[in-house]
Amino acid sequence: MDSGSFLKSPVSTNIAPRPALVTSIPICESRAEVRPQTSKRKRIACQECRQGKLRCEGTSRQSCKRCSLLGLTCVYDNDYKRFNKRLKLQELTKEVERLRATQQTSSVSQETSPSHQSPELHLRPETELSPGRIVPESPVCAPEVASCDEVPNTYASLCEAHHPQVLGNTSLTAVQVTRLFRRYFKENHPYVPIIEEGISPDNYHGQSPLLFWTIIAIASRHDDEEPTVVGSLAPFLKTLLWQTIGSPPHTRSDLKAMILLCLWPMPTSSMSTDSSFVLASACKSSAMHVGVHRPYSVQDFSRIRTSPRPDEVKDALITWSACFIAAESITSLIGQAPLFVTDATLDAICNGRNDVGIPPDMYHLVLIWRFCNKFNRVMASRERRVGSLGESDSGVLLPLYEIELVQLRQQLGDNLSDDNEIMFLYASLQLRCYYFLESYARASSREGILKAYRSAVDVIWRCHKRDTDTQLFRRGPVIFRNALSIASVFVLKTLRSSNSQLVDAEEGRRAFNVSLSLLRKCSIEDNDLPGRFSKILSQLWCATPPESSPQRGLNVTSRLGGSVLHDTLWTWREKFGGQAPDGQRPQVSAFSGPRTSAPSSSNRTWPGASPDEQGHRNDVSHPTTSIGQPHHEQSAPLSGNCDMVDLDLDSELNNDWFWNEAGLSSLLTTDFDALCLPEAFNTNNNFVGHGASVRLS
């Protein structure tokens, strides 16, 4: 048959059906015959086999083979759940450390008072903040700042180290560690009391190496016995810091170390290399990652079931409050938007009456910085016209915040400490910085600037008094240095404008001199930020005659309240830092001249200068003039009890110190080999209420 006929032929439908599957019984009945229906209980594995995810062949009546071979106790529990061995090991390790600390504390208390113990050494179980950390019922060391020699013997025994420690090329003996820990708890800890007292340095190192070396670094600042520790420790501590940040989750001790490094940063020579802002952001994120910002709901941020004790909640609130204070102090100085936008925990703290037990001074700081956070957030988020602040509704907002400032002072009460009085004045100064961003034609703007000047002068005098009494700028956190920097800039801008006729210029000049001397005291090493900033202020003072121009607005307007500071820095860059606009050369100060202690400047080449100009630059002479006096007047002694302090500012006012050998100029590349820095000095301790006049040599 051909293919065509095949296609045309009909298809046969007589297909034989498949034979049906014949079974004698149904499927269900066959299965019933093979596997009889008998009621059997579900087999339950023992705890050891369930933990190891192994098959258990035992029963509730007899031990399984695995437990019998290994000699384990075979226990059957229907409600048993597997646990993480690593976390369990960490909990056991902390428990061992807690028991050791308890045993050490009890032995010390028995040695100090065999017949009857002092009430300060009685320990309460509810004061345990976490396993491995205990706190006495009342602080052993006095809260007042005192010298290390005045530490009680009981506290010295509690904080005694028994093992040497090494980080990088820094090696400390047990005696050195003990001395630095005593110094920290007596001089630095009262300002930010976020870590526990009464634990030995060895236990601190076991809990967090970062916290241990942070305490060492802070205590070694301005240390006369070990002046090289902080410099040699700084690079290795930074490496340890960023290694710890890169290994989450972080313990509460690690978070406290980050907070302390934000408040006592390592020395650096430029604001661009200062990592405080980055560290503050990382610290806030790390705290939120482990639920510190929600201490009452910490279970929601944990993998294991936990129930926080009241003392742990208190410790979390103190840590979160300190993190907020550190972040706000940093962002307000550099002119960035606040890191804390909305936070229910801080709102609850500020709206209450400190029922959670936060230390009173820290509670007042939270209230002050919460007010700063409020107006900084509003100023950062409102609409700007022509890309500039102060062009829309600041004339309405600022008077309203002035009213809230008065209400805040009433809320703080009469028991505000001297340090927090400075912080309150600093908050008012930050608020009034925004008047510089307004149109000066408004009467409210001029009035606000004059109020800011009054606050700035008060900040300087109070800082001077506190430093005389307690060495504030050698022991305190960087917040006070920030307040002093903003205040000195305000005084400079006001006295070097037409507003100098409306204020007490003589008092402002003395306050400016004192601010320079206090900034010098903040300096830890040569060419660090406070030392360089004092040079910048002195150069701007002498280069700008008083009443040279009417009060004008700011060129830098995008950095919120910090625009005043950064506008001043850019003014210096344009005049002396090689950043002059339109190709103009840096200005030569009228007081620059030859230096006696530095190499001759005749061999230095000035960028963009002709040979005649080279000789003219190198042969300028200057008279002996006071920093506080106009550049066309001779220096005259101040009336009153004023100390005449010679800062040797001739090398600072000579622009040679800025240019390096290659003829390059920037804030990051500077030839400081030829710069002769003045020796440290101290003002008279009996001197209160007046400034120190600075005289050029």
Cα–Cα distance, 246 to 243 (Å, whole number): 5
What is the predicted pLDDT for the residue at 462? 97
Q: Name residue, tokens 């917040």.
A: 479
Distance from the Cα of residue 416 to its chain's centroid = 23
Q: What percent of the chain has pLDDT over 70?
A: 64
Mention every residue, 6+ apart, whose C-beta is less than 8 A from residue 342.
none
Average pLDDT over residues 70-84: 81
| CA angle (82 as vertex; 78, 85 as ends), nearest 5 | 150
Phi first, then psi: what are they for 57, rounded to 5°?
-105, 10
Average pLDDT over residues 512-536: 93
Mark 244-272 as b/e (b = at least 16 C-beta within 10 Å): bbeeeebbbbbbbbbbbbbbbbbbbbebe
What is the predicted pLDDT for the residue at 18? 52
- What string of H, E and C letters represents the secondary structure of 401-450? HHHHHHHHHHHHCCCCCHHHHHHHHHHHHHHHHHHHHCCCCCHHHHHHHH
Mention every residue, 6+ apart, whose C-beta is less than 8 A from residue 220.
180, 226, 229, 230, 233
The residue with greater pLDDT, 13 or 625, is 13
The residue with greater pLDDT, 330 or 156, is 330
Look at residues 501, 491, 584, 504 and name the one whose alpha carbon lies nearest to residue 540.
Answer: 491
Phi first, then psi: what are they for 137, rounded to 5°?
-60, -40
Sign of CA dihedral 412, 416, 419, 425: positive
Look at residues 73, 69, 71, 64 and name the one whose alpha carbon lies nearest to residue 45.
Answer: 64
Q: How many residues does the chain have?
A: 697
Phi first, then psi: what are they for 692, rounded to 5°?
-100, 125
What is the predicted pLDDT for the residue at 215? 96
With beta carbons less than 8 A apart as the criterion, state whether 444 and 477 touch: no
Average pLDDT over residues 498-504: 86
Return the DSSP state at 325: H
Distance from the Cα of residue 195 to its chain's centroid = 15
Average pLDDT over residues 601-608: 37
What is the predicted pLDDT for the residue at 280? 96
Cα–Cα distance, 383 to 391 (Å, whole number): 9
For residue 130, give the 3-state DSSP assignment: strand
Phi first, then psi: what are they for 281, rounded to 5°?
-65, -45
E-only strand ranges, 501-631: none
Average pLDDT over residues 295-324: 90
Look at residues 526, 464, 545, 558 and name the one whose alpha carbon lies nearest to residue 651.
Answer: 526
Return the DSSP state at 489: H
Phi first, then psi: what are they for 504, rounded to 5°?
-80, 95
The residue with greater pLDDT, 295 or 386, is 295
Q: How many beta carbons lie within 10 A of that of residue 555, not counting itself?
A: 11
Residue 9: CA count within 13 A, CB half-sphere: 9
What is the predicted pLDDT for the residue at 393? 60
Torsion of CA 42, 47, 49, 52, to 10 degrees: 130
The residue with greater pLDDT, 451 or 622, is 451
Q: At what angle do helices 418-432 and 360-381 cross, to 10 degrees?
A: 10
Structure-block tokens of residue 683 = 């003002």
- Is the CATH code 3.30.565.10 the one for domain 44-91? no
The residue with greater pLDDT, 670 or 433, is 433
Residue 275 reports pLDDT greater than 90: yes
Q: Which residues pair with 645 in a beta bridge?
A: 694
Cα–Cα distance, 591 to 610 (Å, whole number): 21
Confidence of residue 599 (pLDDT cuts 50, 70, 90): very low
Average pLDDT over residues 62-68: 85
What is the predicted pLDDT for the residue at 663? 38
Average pLDDT over residues 395-402: 86
For residue 250, give the 3-state DSSP assignment: coil
Residue 665 reports pLDDT greater than 60: no
Residue 328 reports pLDDT greater than 80: yes
Of 121-125, 358-362, 576-580, where does mean pLDDT reach its minimum? 121-125
With beta carbons less than 8 A apart as the criterion, state whether 426 and 371 touch: no
Q: Are strands 165-167 and 170-172 parallel, antiparallel or unpaired?
A: antiparallel
The residue with greater pLDDT, 86 or 476, is 476
What are the tens digits of pLDDT across the range 299-312? 888 888 888 888 89
Average pLDDT over residues 352-363: 86
Cα–Cα distance, 594 to 601 (Å, whole number): 7
Mark 502-536 as b/e (b = at least 16 C-beta within 10 Å): ebebeebbbbbbbbbbbbbbbbbeebbbbbbbbbb
Q: Name residue, tokens 């005649």.
A: 612
Q: What is the DSSP string of 358-388?
A: --HHHHHHHHHHHHHHHHHHHHHHS--BTTB
What is the predicted pLDDT for the residue at 579? 75
With beta carbons less than 8 A apart as the criterion, state whether 463 and 483 touch: yes
Rg (CA), the chain: 35
Average pLDDT over residues 25-46: 55
Residue 442 reports pLDDT greater than 80: no
What is the predicted pLDDT for the residue at 397? 85
Confidence of residue 254 (pLDDT cuts 50, 70, 90): very high
Return the DSSP state at 43: P
Run of H or E residues at 183: helix 174-183
Structure-block tokens of residue 673 = 């080999």
Residue 575 reports pLDDT greater than 90: no
Residue 645 reports pLDDT greater than 50: no
Residue 305: CA count within 13 A, CB half-sphere: 3
Confidence of residue 38 (pLDDT cuts 50, 70, 90): low
Of 62-66, 138-142, 490-494, where does mean pLDDT reach its minimum? 138-142
Confidence of residue 439 (pLDDT cuts 50, 70, 90): low
Which range of 337-341, 589-593, 642-646 scores highest in mean pLDDT? It is 337-341
Averaged pLDDT score across all residues of the chain: 73
What is the predicted pLDDT for the residue at 190? 95
Confidence of residue 78 (pLDDT cuts 50, 70, 90): confident
Cα–Cα distance, 373 to 463 (Å, whole number): 23
Mention every residue, 6+ apart, whose C-beta is less than 8 A from residue 663.
605, 606, 607
What are the tens digits of pLDDT across the range 614-639? 443 333 333 333 444 433 333 333 33
pTM above 0.75, yes or no: no
Structure-block tokens of residue 331 = 């962002």
Q: At what angle do helices 505-522 and 478-495 cross, to 10 degrees?
A: 150
What are the tens digits of pLDDT across the range 229-240? 999 999 999 999
Cα–Cα distance, 200 to 214 (Å, whole number): 15
Return the DSSP state at 165: E
Q: What percent of the chain has pLDDT over 90?
A: 40
Q: At what angle do helices 344-351 and 360-381 cross, to 10 degrees?
A: 120
Confidence of residue 527 (pLDDT cuts 50, 70, 90): confident
Burial class (CB in 10 A: 0-12, 13-18, 19+), 547: middle
Burial class (CB in 10 A: 0-12, 13-18, 19+), 198: buried
Average pLDDT over residues 656-664: 39
Residue 289 reports pLDDT greater than 50: yes
Run of H or E residues at 205: helix 201-207
